[in-house]
Amino acid sequence: MDLALPYLMLGPAMLVVFAVLVYPLWEGVKASTKLYRYGKVIAEVGFDNYVKLWSDPQFLNALWVTLKYVTLAVSLETVLGFTLALFCAREFAGIRLLRTVLIIPMVITPVVVAILFRLIYASDAGMLTALSVAVGGGEVQILGDPLKAFIGLVVLDVWEWTPLMFLIILAGLQSLPQEPFEAARVDGAGAWRSFIDLTLPMMRPVLAIAIVLRTIDAFGTFDQVFVLTRGGPGESTKLLSIYGYDTAFKFQMTGYASALFVTLGLIMLALALMAIRLIQRGEEK
């Protein structure tokens, strides 16, 4: 009984994990091997849905848009988050208030953030248009232009999720041992030299974890895009999540959409495994 007690205590948690993660994932994989019509299974197609994906120009375009979006957004968030963390790692008057203010965007509901930015970007009565008119300009067209809409979506993501990178990196900076930095100062090393030789190498595992977590989250971005652009104009902001939603609910292609989301999950899993391997190599060195 004593040996079984730890497993019995884990039982409720394992049931929750199975109910909210394992079972839906298994059902999704099963659905991806079927052909549906109006919610009913009409054929077993095996891996045909997966094969079809890679010859589907809309899927390939959505994958390309998603990769661009994730790469640009996560890169900017990492750089800005690191910069803010370096600044806020110091102690000075008002630092606690500043840290609190910096994390506010992260705690706002994504849908609310999207509505806020839609009001800012609106060409007829948006904040950008109002400012432009005030200085003698005209309407500022953001959501009606493919490139500007994509950039506007990235700006929204950076504003909302840079605080997450800031918090993770700040925690990493505050946990670094101080002895190497004191020794470097005694040897005459400046702030830049200490940053390159000490801070960056020691922060590599923390950065890898932060980037992986944010990348996985960014791949699943849906709320903000759905409220702000719904994938438009054209297909300039149609991420995989939006294409999958349209496929499942607008076109009722449930099996094909399931194959799409399983593929997206496998891509994120591969990224996570690669990052874990990179962290392990860094620790071995």
C-alpha to C-alpha distance for 118 and 131, rounded to whole angstroms: 15
**What pLDDT score does 285 carry?**
57
Residue 16 belongs to a domain = no
**Is residue 1's pLDDT more than 60?**
no
**131 or 87, higher pLDDT:** 87
Lowest-pLDDT range of 34-38, 75-79, 159-163, 223-227 = 34-38
**Is residue 23's pLDDT more than 90?**
no
**What pLDDT score does 129 carry?**
80
Instruction: Work out the mean pLDDT of the chain and round it to a whole number.
Output: 85
Q: Are 242 and 226 in contact (CB under 8 A)?
A: yes
Q: Is the dihedral of CA 211, 216, 219, 223 positive or negative?
A: negative
Candidates 221, 217, 223; CA nearest to 112 is: 223
Q: Are 130 and 152 in contact (CB under 8 A)?
A: no
Q: What is the CATH number of the domain that holds 265?
A: 1.10.3720.10
The count of domains in the chain is 1
The string of DSSP codes covering 13-53 is HHHHHIIIIIHHHHHHHHHTTEEEETTEEEEE-TTHHHHHH
How much is the average pLDDT of 91-115?
88
Residue 25 belongs to a domain = no
How much is the average pLDDT of 113-122?
88
Whether the model clears a pTM of 0.75, i.e. scores above it, the answer is yes
Residue 32 belongs to a domain = no
**Is residue 281's pLDDT more than 80?**
no
Residue 186 belongs to a domain = yes
Candidates 210, 245, 211; CA nearest to 226 is: 245
**What pLDDT score does 153 carry?**
94
Residue 234 pLDDT level (bands cut at 50, 70, 90): confident
Q: What is the pLDDT of residues 158-202, one digit of tens each?
A: 999 999 999 999 999 988 888 888 888 887 778 788 888 888 888
Residue 230 belongs to a domain = yes
**CA angle (10 as vertex; 7, 12 as ends), nearest 5:** 130
**Is residue 7's pLDDT more than 80?**
no
| Tokens found for residue 27 | 């059902």
Phi and psi at 278, nearest 5°, equal -65, -40
Q: What is the pLDDT of residues 247-271, one digit of tens each?
A: 888 888 888 888 888 888 888 888 7
Residue 219 belongs to a domain = yes
How much is the average pLDDT of 99-104?
90
C-alpha to C-alpha distance for 203 and 176, rounded to whole angstroms: 8
**88 or 283, higher pLDDT:** 88
Residue 81 belongs to a domain = yes
Boundaries of domain holding 58:
50-284
Kindly tell me the burial class for residue 104, based on how many C-beta atoms sit within 10 Å of its own C-beta (0-12, 13-18, 19 or more).
Answer: exposed
**What pLDDT score does 8 carry?**
79
Beta strands in the chain (DSSP E): 34-37, 40-44
Residue 43 belongs to a domain = no
Return the exposure string of 152-183: e unless at least 16 CB atoms fall within 10 Å of the residue's CB, then b: bbbbbbbbbbbbbbbbbbbebbeeeeeebbee
**Amino acid letter at 105?**
P
**Is residue 93's pLDDT more than 60?**
yes
